[in-house]
Amino acid sequence: MEETGVLDVGSGACIDERQRSIITTGRNKSSIHCSDDSMAGSVSQRACVFCGARVVLNPVTDAIHLVHGPIGCATYTMDIRGSLSSGSELYRNSFSTDLKEKDVVFGGEKKLAACIDEVVTKYHPPAVFVYSTCVVGMIGDDIIAVCKAASARHQIDVIPVESTGFMSGNKVIGYRAAAEALLKLITPKEGETVQMTRKLNFLGEYNLGGEKWLVERYLREIGIEINVAFTGDSTVAALKQAPGACLNIVQCTGSMHWVAQNLERTFGTPYIDVNFFGAENTAESLRKIAEFYEDEEIMRRTEVLIDREMKNIQPAIQKYREKLTGKRAAIYVGGAFKAVAIIRQLQELGMEVVFTGTQTGKQEEYDRIRDMVDEGTVIIDDANPAELEKFLLEKEVDMMAGGVKERVLAFKLGIGFVDHNHDRKECLAGFEGAVRFAREVYITTCSPVWKHLKQTPPCKED
């Protein structure tokens, strides 16, 4: 198997066609197979295309998010990001056209138009995002035409999000649908002007536990202002000012690289990648931003901030490092930028990353992950629960960092778990976030509960 570059995952837990999506560093020479549709029957950990679009757009706080489809699609994604807002709470609702059998037979366009009229009359939003779902894709409702007519009727942006769930087996396509909707919103219309500034846009930041506010505080201290974040704690009016920024910084590359590239092409705004998860990553990102401004005072303030914050957190990080050194970790998350950040943080804590993967990583991101981990680490793209279980056990993992769908699996296997999902409430970014993360990793990895669980004899029948 090694000569072909394909890992022999054996034991029947893995589907043969999935073998190219699983590699072991040092053993496999070939690149990992990724960026493809999920395989039918594999029960991917990914969500659908519509869900991918909604996680990107939902934090726009004062917009109406109207799901054109059966009620289940809206329920499944209600408040999906858990993002925090400093103003409107309108986005935390989940509006739906609640399509039924009759609508499937006769079409849902009239119902959609009536729903838009109703929510606009009742809530007076500055914009409405209309998401299409699987059913809408099947019956062929023309949501573009309905949105255009509604926009003319109400004189606000009514933007179609073409995110039919089954459009692809890869939720990245939903990110793209959301990006197209965002670009429609922020591109100035005839007669509209945008003020050019020295501020920056923060792309791929969703303010789950107040991360946007934390980074805003750091940047303000060094003399830089955020123009608008995409899309955490954003408003429609703020997003429309996006072309006025002098720089775009991109954190979640999976959801926002395409937007950044388009903003560069259309408005000439350059972009750089940043990562505010982990102390070293935060320091590096602040230095990158400061360098862009080519201002000695900004660079001086940046070094003062980094020096102070690093000194503050070192004793706590060292304390957890002593407890965690040598423990074995696994990571399975949505985006590769997050996997890269967590690998670095766990290594800084003295842990060995023995198994890692993502739902939507790209080739160059997997190459970077490969360079970061030790020989023998299993790397997996678009995993299913059977594969996760197999490698968590085989690699004798002590702690897993992942999302909501991995949590139950880890706990059932008696493995510690740290939630790095998009609905968590703890701020894990920045210097203080690094300490919070280390504390969470320590508590779960070193919890006495795992020892007792493994000692418990199997239940006897009466």
- Interacting residues toward ligand SF4 by CB under 6 A: 48, 50-51, 69, 73, 76, 133-134, 165
What is the rounded CA–CA span in Å between residue 432 and residue 427? Answer: 9
Phi, psi of 230 (to 5 degrees): -110, 105
Nearer to ligand SF4, 134 or 383 (CB): 134
Q: Write down the residue that tokens 């740290």 correspond to.
A: 418
What is the rounded CA–CA span in Å between residue 400 and residue 388? Answer: 10
Minimum distance from residue 47 beta carbon to ligand SF4 (Å):
7
Nearer to ligand SF4, 280 or 423 (CB): 423
Nearer to ligand SF4, 51 or 242 (CB): 51
What is the rounded CA–CA span in Å between residue 332 and residue 353? Answer: 11
Nearer to ligand SF4, 51 or 57 (CB): 51
Nearer to ligand SF4, 75 or 86 (CB): 75
Residue 250's DSSP bridge partners are 203, 273
Find the residue with minimal CB distance to ligand SF4. Answer: 165
Burial of 267 (0-12, 13-18, 19+ CB in 10 A): middle
What is the rounded CA–CA span in Å between residue 153 and residue 170? Answer: 35
Minimum distance from residue 77 beta carbon to ligand SF4 (Å):
7
Nearer to ligand SF4, 133 or 282 (CB): 133
What is the rounded CA–CA span in Å between residue 136 and residue 130? Answer: 11
Question: What length does the chain have?
Answer: 462
Minimum distance from residue 168 beta carbon to ligand SF4 (Å):
11
Residue 356's DSSP bridge partners are 331, 379
Nearer to ligand SF4, 248 or 384 (CB): 384
Minimum distance from residue 309 beta carbon to ligand SF4 (Å):
41
CA angle 233, 239, 242 (to 5 degrees): 120
Is residue 49 within 8 A of residue 168, CB to CB? The reply is yes
Minimum distance from residue 148 beta carbon to ligand SF4 (Å):
22
What is the rounded CA–CA span in Å between residue 80 and residue 91? Answer: 10
At 337, the amino acid letter reads F
Minimum distance from residue 123 beta carbon to ligand SF4 (Å):
23
Minimum distance from residue 109 beta carbon to ligand SF4 (Å):
18
